[in-house]
Chain A
Amino acid sequence: MYGGGSGTHQSKREMSLEYQAQISILRPSIRARRANMTVKFQDVHGFTVEGNVDDVNVLNEVREKLRQQCRVWWALEANKGVNWYLETHVSSTLKSSLKFSALVNAITLKRLIKKGIPLNFRPKVWFSLSGAAKKKSTVPDSYYNDMTSAVFDMVTPATKQIDQDLPRTFPGHPWLDTSDGHSALRRVLVAYSFRDSDVGYCQGLNYVAALLLLVMKTEEDAFWMLAVLLENVLFNDCYTYNLSGCHVDQRVFRDLLAKKCPRIATHLEGIDFDVSLVCTEWFLCLFSKSLPSETTLRVWDILFYEGANVLFNVALAIFKMNEEELLVTHQVGDVINVIQKTTHHLFDPDELLTVAFDKIGFTTTTTISKQRKKQEPAVMAELDQRLRRLNSLHENGDEN
């Protein structure tokens, strides 16, 4: 059922999703509604989620908005040409009228992306805007196929870990958790582990690649999206052998929180709650394990267009949205509950993104890069010290 990628295939798939949505939404009785009972239903991308009646309604609104946006994008394409969104770079060689139209396109695009890229536009818009298309164009057409057939039966620590994680990646998803889904995910992850031996395979990438497969519809495009994500969009030390980049991100985030949400930061410090306890997973899985799927993909819409700073904005927003509740927590468990209750129910992407961009204030990839540079030496020293301490322990232990 998966992997076609033709236009008719897409619309069929969409229709079936809509159909599923209609049959799978239960209609709880008024009593249930009063009791605020939770029901299980399938979201926009086939994931089973739990929520109350309001959540079901919110998700229906999200579906409706997606349809509206789709009409807007079709109209623009008819009006400006198929690849209008690529003509947004104001180059000095262009005539001034062209420059102007590029500028208009750039502004339109930015605004549209904040509103979300419709499902059937996502594959090609992501592919172009992220730089994946360019990356792919620098190698022979057969690169991915050659790669996968060359490495498919090799066994490495990475492939062993990948095999262990296949059935543990979004178990229960109607496509990902089938043998087709597992083998597509395996090929993408294994191929990437050979492309970049510094990263190899890092747990967390299974979730990221799985969502990329769902969006991109072809395995090869998912592979290139993963490549551009790890090599260009994100900071390139995030998934390496000791996760040093992850440590750096956590320090940068802690400082940002102290600056942008000082009351929360002070309170959490007071109850001895390290924000990394919740943020680590957000950054490593790019929210895919925490936020509802369409909300995650809306974050990724901006991620592929603007860069990794969006991750910080979104993480800040999740704290900001809960300021009052967080300020009255006393225990670790309370903090986690407040945060998880929010993240799991953020079915309305706009609710999150409005806070992330209108209330938090600007962070740019450049400022984040600068902050990261500042933190790097301390992280390296800390990791190094830990390693040396452990090595000396193990040596002593072995002598005994």
Chain B
Amino acid sequence: MASSGNKNINAKLVLLGDVATGKSSLVLRFVKGQFVEFQESTIGAAFFSQTVAVNDATVKFEIWDTAGQERYHSLAPMYYRGAAAAIIVYDITNQASFDRAKKWVQELQAQGNPNMVMALAGNKSDLLDARKVAAEEAQTYAQENGLFFMETSAKTATNVNDVFYEIAKRLPRLQQAPNPSGMVLVDRPADRATGASCCS
């Protein structure tokens, strides 16, 4: 299938974020090119896959779209364990969802795969009149924490594919240079024990 020199990689990607920020809508837009006003609320998590081509490589995303209700967060490690990438979603019209997004970033930085590519998505960018979170604030936060940031709209499709393409491009396995330009790597001590719980 793939001609020699081509790379085909699988990348596990997880979407995290507060309830009703539009995680499922972003996935539906990316995977099927659709938007529906009301789609079933996600329980546990839903799985999707979609392939994107970047230069001479193809990346098959294995996407886990998680449930947002607080009590479901205890299940999250099962979905982000071993993930190559994460999209942390907040709703630009909802300040609390931005605060929640920051907590997810902290958790992933501490518990997730150290090479994880993280994107911060400020969704519902079509609802400009109701904006509560300034783009600059999110941009600054993202830069300080080694994420890349985009405002998206699952409704109008703005920047949705772009987030996934950008992630694909930044996946370490597609990178020649160890430190890809534009991506601030988080410098963290060796305490990021992954997965296995061994502390006493």
Q: A residues touching B (Cβ–Cβ < 8 Å)?
A: 161, 164-165, 167-171, 202-204, 206-207, 240-244, 246-247, 272, 274, 276-277, 280-281, 284-285, 289, 331-333, 336, 382-383, 385-386, 389-390, 393-394, 397
Residues from chain B with Cβ under 8 Å of A168 in the complex: 38-41
* Most chain B CB inside 10 Å of its own CB: which residue of A169, A207, A393: A393
Task: Check A277–B78 contact: CB distance below 8 A.
Answer: yes
Q: Report whether B69 and A203 are in contact in the complex, using a CB–CB cutoff of 8 Å.
A: yes
Provide a sorted-by-A list of 28 A–B residue pairs whose CB atoms are within 8 angstroms: A161-B69, A168-B38, A171-B36, A203-B41, A241-B70, A243-B72, A247-B74, A247-B75, A276-B78, A277-B45, A277-B78, A280-B43, A280-B44, A280-B78, A281-B43, A289-B40, A331-B62, A333-B49, A333-B62, A336-B47, A382-B197, A383-B74, A385-B197, A389-B111, A390-B103, A390-B106, A393-B107, A397-B102
What is the bound-complex CA distance between A169 and B77, given in angstroms?
26
A243 and B75 within 8 A (CB): yes
A272 and B38 within 8 A (CB): no
Whether A285 and B38, one on each chain, are in contact in the complex, defined by CB atoms closer than 8 angstroms, is no
Whether the Cβ atoms of A243 and B71 lie closer than 8 Å is yes
Interface membership of B87, Cβ < 8 A? no
Tell me if B156 is interfacial: C-beta within 8 Å of chain A.
no
A394-B99 Cα distance, complex, nearest whole Å: 11
> How would you classify the secondary structure of chain A's contact residues: helix, strand, loop or mixed?
helix
> Would B38 and A171 count as touching, CB distance under 8 A?
yes
Dominant SS at the B interface? mixed
Contacts of A333 in B (CB 8 A): 47, 49, 60, 62
Cβ–Cβ < 8 Å partners of B117 in chain A? none
Flag whether B185 is at the interface (Cβ < 8 A): no
- What B residues does A285 contact at CB under 8 A? 43
Give the residues in chain B near A390, CB-CB below 8 Å. Answer: 103, 106-107
- Per the 8 Å Cβ criterion, residues 182-197 of B in contact with A are 197
A161 to B44, CA, bound (A): 16
Q: Is the CB of A281 within 8 A of B44?
A: yes
The 10 closest A-B pairs by CB, nearest first: A280-B44, A168-B41, A167-B38, A281-B44, A204-B43, A203-B69, A171-B38, A336-B47, A281-B43, A333-B49
Question: What is the CA–CA distance of A336 and B47 in the complex, to the nearest angstrom?
Answer: 8
A214 to chain B, nearest CB (A): 16
17 extra interface residue pairs, beta carbon distance < 8 Å, beyond A277-B64, A382-B197 = A161-B69, A164-B19, A171-B36, A203-B67, A203-B72, A272-B82, A277-B47, A280-B45, A281-B45, A289-B40, A331-B10, A332-B62, A333-B60, A389-B111, A394-B103, A394-B106, A397-B106
Name the residue on B nearest A393 (C-beta). B106
**Residue-by-residue, is B3-15 near A (CB-CB < 8 Å gives 1, otherwise 0)?**
0000000101000
* A281 vs B46: C-alpha distance when bound (angstroms): 9
B residues in contact with A241, CB < 8 Å: 70-71
Docked CA distance A206–B42 (Å): 11
A202 contacts B71, C-beta separation under 8 Å: yes
Query: Is there a chain A Cβ closer than 8 Å to B1's Cβ?
Result: no
**Of the candidates B40, B43, B47, B77, which one forms a contact with A284 in the assembled complex, judged by CB atoms under 8 Å apart?**
B43
Q: How far is the CB of A190 from chain B (nearest CB, A)?
A: 16
Give the complex CA separation of A389 and B49 in angstroms. 32
* B-side contacts of A167, CB under 8 Å: 37-38
Kindly list chain A residues whose C-beta atoms are within 8 Å of the C-beta of B102: 397
Tell me if B174 is interfacial: C-beta within 8 Å of chain A.
no
Any A CB within 8 A of the CB of B110: yes
Asked if residues A170 and B75 are in contact (CB atoms below 8 Å), the reply is no
Verify B110–A389 contact, CB threshold 8 A.
yes
**Chain A CB within 10 A, most for which of B37, B71, B72, B106:** B71
Instruction: Tell yes or no: B199 within 8 A of A by CB.
Output: yes
With A167-B38, A332-B62 already in contact, the answer to whether A289 and B110 are too (CB < 8 A) is: no
Given A203-B67, A243-B75, A393-B110, check contact A164 B44 (CB 8 Å). no
Across the interface, which residues of A come within 8 angstroms of B74, CB to CB? Answer: 242-244, 247, 383, 386
Q: Are B43 and A242 in contact (CB under 8 A)?
A: no
CA distance A331 to B62 in the complex (A): 10
Residue among B19, B74, B111 with the highest chain A CB neighbour number at 10 A: B74
Residue of A nearest to B102 (CB): A397
A332 touches B47 (CB 8 A): yes
Q: Name the residue of chain B whose CB is nearest to the CB of A392.
A: B110
Residues of B close to A161: CB separation below 8 A:
19, 69
* Complex Cα spacing A314 to B50, Å: 30
B75/A280 in contact, CB under 8 A: yes
A332 to B60, CA, bound (A): 12
Pairwise interchain contact B71-A385, C-beta atoms closer than 8 A? no
Contacts of B38 in A (CB 8 A): 167-168, 171
**B133 at the A/B interface (Cβ < 8 Å)?**
no
B135 at the interface (CB under 8 A from A): no
